[in-house]
């Protein structure tokens, strides 16, 4: 029993390298935080986010049903956009871009677009010991 | 990755959407990490 309590205490003090959580929530808004490690340099992780989104984004969370229609123009004012057969979608707008370190975008994703809400999404990349932590 | 959302949603408010958004974004960030780690 004592060992089990110690283990729980250790986990609470030292969470695993990857975690996801709703860190706060109220009727007026919320914050979601996700931290994961990737076995790659930060620059490559940043490039995958901005240049290869069509290769990893789940197509089930697109309007067109095809992640290859997604793109991120990673410069201030750039568009996180999606091509549609006869039109297109602006998902978010880039408001901060520092390759290999930080990408920040503004907008309401998915069904949030139809609500009177806005959001700020930050992707921070920290490289150490041959791996990159993606968080903010 | 952090996503901060605020505003007005009729009825129960924006906060009720947090869990669903968390689920989607957690899966997406993990997919990115997996992709980067294997390509």
pLDDT score for A18? 66
A47-86 pLDDT, tens digit per residue, is: 999 999 999 999 999 999 999 999 999 999 999 999 999 9
Q: Average pLDDT over chain B, rounded to whole?
A: 93
A84-95 pLDDT, tens digit per residue, is: 999 999 999 999
Which parts of A41-86 are beta strand (E)? 70-72, 79-84
- Residue B12 pLDDT grade (very low, low, confident, very high; cuts 50, 70, 90): confident
Mutate: best of A26, A34, A117, partner B, most B CBs <10 A:
A34
Token pair for A17? 């390298």
Q: Which among B14, B33, B34 is the nearest to A117, CB-wise?
A: B14
How far apart CA A132 and CA A115 sit, in angstroms, is 34
Average of pLDDT values for A37-42? 92
pLDDT score for A7? 42
Q: What is the pTM of this model?
A: 0.86
pLDDT score for A46? 96
pLDDT score for B39? 86
Give the gap in angstroms from C-alpha B16 to the nearest C-alpha of chain A.
7
- Residue B25 pLDDT grade (very low, low, confident, very high; cuts 50, 70, 90): very high
């Amino acid at each position: 029993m004592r060992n089990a309590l110690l283990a729980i205490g250790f986990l609470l003090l030292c969470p695993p390298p990857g975690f996801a959580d709703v860190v706060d929530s109220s009727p007026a808004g919320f914050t979601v935080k996700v931290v994961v490690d990737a076995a790659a340099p930060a620059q490559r992780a940043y490039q995958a986010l901005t240049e290869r989104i069509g290769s990893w984004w789940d197509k089930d969370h697109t309007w067109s049903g095809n992640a290859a229609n997604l793109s991120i123009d990673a410069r201030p004012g750039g568009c996180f956009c999606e091509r549609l057969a006869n039109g297109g979608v602006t998902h978010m707008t880039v408001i901060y871009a520092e390759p290999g370190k930080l990408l920040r975008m503004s907008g309401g994703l998915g069904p949030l677009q139809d609500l009177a809400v806005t959001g700020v999404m930050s992707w921070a990349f920290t490289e150490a010991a041959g791996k990159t932590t993606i968080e903010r | 990755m952090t996503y901060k959302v605020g505003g007005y949603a009729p009825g129960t408010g924006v906060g009720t959407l947090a869990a669903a958004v968390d689920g989607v974004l957690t899966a997406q960030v993990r997919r990115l990490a997996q992709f980067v780690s294997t390509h």
